Amino acid sequence: MLDSKLLRTATEQVAQGLAKRGYVLDVAKIQALEETRKAIQIKTENLQSERNSISKGIGKAKQAGEDVAPMMQAVENIKQELVSAEAELTKIQAEWDDFVKAIPNVPADEVPEGKSDEDNIEIRRWGMPRSFHFPIKDHVDLGAELGGLDFEVATKITGTRFAVLRGGVARLHRALAQFMLDTHINQHGYEEVNVPFIVNRDSLFGTGQLPKFEEDLFKLTDDREFYLIPTAEVPVTNIYRDDIVDESQLPIKLVCHSPCFRSEAGSYGRDTRGMIRQHQFEKVELVKFVRPEESDAALEALVGHAETILQQLGLPHRTVILCGGDIGFSAAKTYDIEVWVPSQDKYREISSCSSFRDFQARRMMARFRNKETGKPELLHTLNGSGLAIGRTLLAVLENYQQEDGSVIVPEVLRPYMGGLELLIPAKK
């Protein structure tokens, strides 16, 4: 959530920043709400002052033996006016809060101009896509031949956009998760956390999924307003909601492996084949809480941590910075890491790493106590996929496929696979 003071005092500056993401800030509404609020505030303060003045006069009048009934009635009349004015003030403040909640974050200055993902700018590439001397199979056909990837059974069990993994493919999926966790914990210094996969409305508001993106969520059908998590970002970031951490604890770096559930509203017809866009998938999520002055460097480091996973797996990838029109609601700056998918002959997103600056922290009231001033300040939050496991699995299957349908197990995964070096097609 944006700073209300900034919205009021630097409205045009904020409007210019938001224009980069194609968002038109309703400046007239801000001015109208603020003028109304000020008028009611002044009225309230004047009534309070008048009441206090008369109340003091009542005491003096009593001492002088004067009739205080008219003064008592005046105080009662003012009291009724105050109740009405305070109700108006509460109403206009609620209207302001609802208005501010719907405004996205202002993109960082270095975020490029642009309207869609076609305007994102490539920062770097790693690795060369492999040249195949035989017809390339996609992960759906490879997984089926390995006897380890079944979408038909998943459709029978639940519906479309789900998958059943078996045998070596299921083990490879688990190995990827364990490898990612171990790398981020042992090499990058993250603390592992295990969190609920069901969250309340406050948690989703805190990270920015609600109220704007409710249609993208799976909501449980009871009266408690529980939701399945769309990403571990939600429960992990909310660990520090309504908290004030000591500055000596910073930076806080957490890693979490969890399932993710997304309705994919509005994406029907897109990536319907395979594991690119599923209703349920697993992800290893990286979350950071840092001092404001450290957030830019923390984002660069986080991106590097996610890239390391792909490099150790030997998967070609590229990193892009998202333009203003493609950046998420809560993000101030985002890098996407895209892995090479041979069957599609292009790079596909496998990780999105974002800095939210104090946007999420303000919604959650997540703060740290400044050791110099002793006062609480808003944290800066960051997160990124380190990585999406299903998409990493399909990238491994496709990039390491052999002509006979077998798949080489990347060297770094073999200790997690009991030394297995090759996944072999199932006998027909």
Q: Which residue would you say has higher pLDDT here, 184 or 54? A: 184
- What percentage of the chain has pLDDT greater than the value 70? 98
Q: Any binding-site annotation on 351? A: yes
Q: Note whether 91 and 218 are same-domain residues.
A: no
For residue 16, being part of any structural domain is answered with no
Q: Any binding-site annotation on 262? A: yes
Based on the number of CB atoms within 10 Å of its own CB, is 84 exposed (0-12), middle (13-18) or buried (19 or more)?
A: middle
Q: Quick one: the chain helix, strand, coil %, rounded to 5?
A: 45, 20, 35
Q: Any binding-site annotation on 372? A: no
- DSSP for residue 410: P
The domain tally of the chain equals 2
Q: Note whether 77 and 172 are same-domain residues.
A: no
Q: Rounded to whole angstroms, how far apart are CA atoms 331 and 345? A: 29
pLDDT in tens, 168-221: 999 999 999 999 999 999 999 999 999 999 999 999 999 999 988 899 999 998
pLDDT for residue 268? 65
Q: Note whether 172 and 275 are same-domain residues.
A: yes
Domain final position from 100, 132, 154: 100
For residue 10, being part of any structural domain is answered with no
Determine contact, residues 101/211, Cβ cutoff 8 Å: yes
Q: Any binding-site annotation on 383? A: yes
Q: Note whether 164 and 242 are same-domain residues.
A: yes
For residue 3, being part of any structural domain is answered with no
Q: Any binding-site annotation on 406? A: no
Rg (CA), the chain: 28
Mean pLDDT of 138-157: 96
Q: Any binding-site annotation on 232? A: yes
Q: Any binding-site annotation on 385? A: yes
151, pLDDT greater than 70: yes
267, pLDDT greater than 70: no
CATH number reported for the structural domain that contains residue 315 in this entry? 3.30.930.10
Q: Any binding-site annotation on 233? A: yes
Q: What is the DSSP code string of 326-357? A: TS-SS-SEEEEEEEEEGGGTEEEEEEEEEEEE
pLDDT in tens, 64-103: 777 777 788 887 888 888 888 889 999 999 999 999 999 9
Q: Note whether 137 and 81 are same-domain residues.
A: no
CATH number reported for the structural domain that contains residue 34 in this entry? 1.10.287.40
Q: Note whether 85 and 120 are same-domain residues.
A: no
Q: Rounded to whole angstroms, how far apart are CA atoms 395 and 244? A: 41
Domain carrying residue 47: 25-100
Q: Any binding-site annotation on 238? A: no
Domain final position from 34, 67, 100: 100
Q: Any binding-site annotation on 263? A: yes
Question: Among residues 93, 99, 120, 98, which one has the least CA distance to residue 14?
Answer: 99
Q: Any binding-site annotation on 293? A: no
Q: Rounded to whole angstroms, how far apart are CA atoms 379 and 391? A: 31
pLDDT for residue 334? 98
pLDDT in tens, 337-378: 999 999 999 999 999 999 999 999 999 999 999 999 999 999
Q: Note whether 44 and 157 are same-domain residues.
A: no
